[in-house]
Amino acid sequence: MRLGLTQSLRTEQRLVQSPQMIQAMQVLQLPLLELKDQIEQELQENVFLERKDESERTDGAPAPEAEPPQQIEDRLQREFAAEIDQLEARMEPNWRLRGSSYSGDEEDKKLEALANTPGRSTSLPEHLMTQVRTQESDPALIRVIEHVVFSLDEDGRLRETTEQIAQQLAVPLPLAEEAIEVVRDLEPIGVGARDLRDCLLMQLDHMNFVRPLTRRIVEQHLDDLAMNKLPKIAKETGAAIDEVKESWEFLRVHCNPHPGAEFSGPPTSGVVPDVFVEENDGKFEVRTQRGSLPDLAISPIYRNLLQEARNDPKVYEYLRRKIDAAKWFIEAVHQRQNTIERVANEIVRRQEGFLRHGVQHLKPMKMQDIADAVHVHISTVSRAASGKYIQTPQGIFDMKRFFSSGTMSDAGDMVSQQAIKDTLRQIVDAEDKDAPLSDDQLVEELGSRGIHIARRTVTKYRKALGIDSSTRRKHF
């Protein structure tokens, strides 16, 4: 074997993603509301980026007096110096211990923006600990209670045993038991329960009057109640089915099986469509939400400053980076709108039947079909449709809902999964609730309508639609 340095040539294909490509993909994937926030952030961070409507006013009102070039240059010099100071500070070992190297208008604006941001909603642990701090004063007990509170799941259940808590915190078992009892007495009633049965019994204990049958059902027949086995419960308790139904209704109205659910999850936000589909003269037209986004441009004043800064390499490089970043962001926003519009146009062209007649006429369609038609990669179509909504004559839909596989009907047409699910829901809604259809009977009913799918597929679609089994759907 020969040792030494050698040189060799080889050819290979490699995908290299530039920062511009990464930014374009990120902007494409953003929903409309998040894109607006991103644009506002870029406008604040990049002085070269501005709204066109600020410099090109069409309402006849006099435009505000432009900032003198000398003041603009001074401001840019201050920002540039601040960035250099921050960079140098971070190069020192103890930079985190130093105070801010400057305090200017920009810093005040950032602090003001932080101070004026809306507060987040209170979480379940915060809600419980607020109650604890007004009731308990023992630091050792509060420490164990805090561990218990932050061990609750999203429903407010406690999955850890008392022994596990005592072992983890190295505290006596009686102290862990006391902490759990304190949590179980907090509002909302039911937090700290071990399971659903325990949660319901805790809530019944805080009521003035509960029928013995209701408590007995929770204690002994909760599983039968979940399976809708009302005749079995009536037989074993000696009560009439109507009495069992009354107890069940009482539990559904007055008890909350998920007492911690109201504190979980971020606040919901409204849906803003990225695409509008309107019918004009018998043809469907696609319009994207361009009007709601600010029209961006690069300030011409800063371009002149870039020419004047050629003698100072540091300042010139700083200005050039800012201008390039503004160009890339503007291009990414334009490319996003163009890609979404092309994808939406192709979807509308293929789904005209759905737009006119509803979900029963939704055709099977794959992302690869759209990607081939608009000459982009399938991942681009996925990003363009992710989190985007389209407003149609049939309502507002997630763009990804239009993509689904299909099944061949007896008529020789391809029927989409969404159309099959819609047909399945119609069958279940129209069934006799005293004798609901089993999955095998649903297969037969779909077959009579020309749709032949397996029983396991019907079960999967039924569960996806949130439809219970025939046993649970039966009315007594």
What are the pLDDT digits (tens) for 460-476? 888 888 888 888 888 87
CA dist 8 and 4 (Å) reads: 13
Do the beta carbons of residue 208 and residue 223 sit within 8 Å? no
Domain 406-473: CATH superfamily is Homeodomain-like (1.10.10.60)
| Backbone conformation region of residue 475, classed left if phi is above 0, alpha if psi is from -120 to 50, else beta | beta
Domain definitions of the chain by residue range: 125-263, 406-473
Average pLDDT over residues 407-428: 79
- Per mean pLDDT, which of 126-140, 233-247, 315-329 is the most reliable? 233-247
**Which position has the higher pLDDT, 190 or 54?**
190
- Any idea which of 251-260, 289-298, 463-472 has the lowest mean pLDDT? 289-298
CA dist 319 and 387 (Å) reads: 35
Average pLDDT over residues 162-175: 90
* Cα→Cα distances 79→41, 74, 82, 278, Å: 17, 9, 5, 47
Q: Amino acid letter at 57?
A: R
Do the beta carbons of residue 169 and residue 176 sit within 8 Å? yes
Q: Are strands 406-408 and 395-398 parallel, antiparallel or unpaired?
A: unpaired
pLDDT at residue 37, as a whole number: 85
Instruction: Report residue 216's pLDDT band, with 50, 70 and 90 as the boundaries.
Output: very high
Q: Average pLDDT of the chain?
A: 79
Helix, coil or strand: residue 98: coil
pLDDT in tens, 74-132: 555 555 555 545 444 444 444 334 444 444 454 454 444 444 444 456 788 888 888 88
Does the pLDDT value for residue 42 go beyond 80? yes
Q: Which tokens go with 406?
A: 């299909």
Q: Give helix 69-91 / helix 300-308 axis angle, nearest 10°.
A: 70
End-to-end CA distance of the chain: 86
pLDDT at residue 373, as a whole number: 92
Average pLDDT over residues 423-445: 89
Average pLDDT over residues 407-433: 81
Average pLDDT over residues 428-434: 88
Q: Which residues contact 39 (CB under 8 A, 6 or more apart)?
A: 293, 294, 296, 333
Instruction: Report residue 329's pLDDT band, with 50, 70 and 90 as the boundaries.
Output: confident
Q: Amino acid letter at 410?
A: D
Does the pLDDT value for residue 452 go beyond 50? yes
CA dist 102 and 85 (Å) reads: 8
pLDDT at residue 372, as a whole number: 92
Q: Which of 449, 428, 450, 426 is nearest to 438 (CA)?
A: 428
CA 7 to chain centre: 52
**Which position has the higher pLDDT, 179 or 361?**
179
> Using H for helix, E for strand and C for coil, what is the string for 388-449?
CEEEECCEEEEHHHHCECEEECCCCCEEEHHHHHHHHHHHHHHCCCCCCCCHHHHHHHHHHC
Instruction: Report residue 61's pLDDT band, with 50, 70 and 90 as the boundaries.
Output: very low
pLDDT at residue 345, as a whole number: 92
pLDDT in tens, 191-203: 999 999 999 999 9
Q: Which residues contact 420 (CB under 8 A, 6 or more apart)?
A: 407, 446, 451, 453, 461
pLDDT at residue 108, as a whole number: 52
- Per mean pLDDT, which of 54-68, 264-278, 284-298 is the most reliable? 284-298
pLDDT in tens, 10-29: 777 665 566 777 878 888 88
Q: Which tokens go with 265?
A: 């999850």
Q: What is the pTM of this model?
A: 0.55
| Phi (first) and psi of residue 237, to 5 degrees | -95, -15
| Backbone conformation region of residue 205, classed left if phi is above 0, alpha if psi is from -120 to 50, else beta | alpha
* Burial of residue 328, with CB atoms counted within 10 A of its CB: 0-12 exposed, 13-18 middle, 19 or more buried: middle
Q: Percentage of the chain with pLDDT > 70?
A: 78
> Residue 113 is inside which H or E element, if any?
helix 105-115
pLDDT at residue 265, as a whole number: 54
Q: Which residues contact 61 (CB under 8 A, 6 or more apart)?
A: none
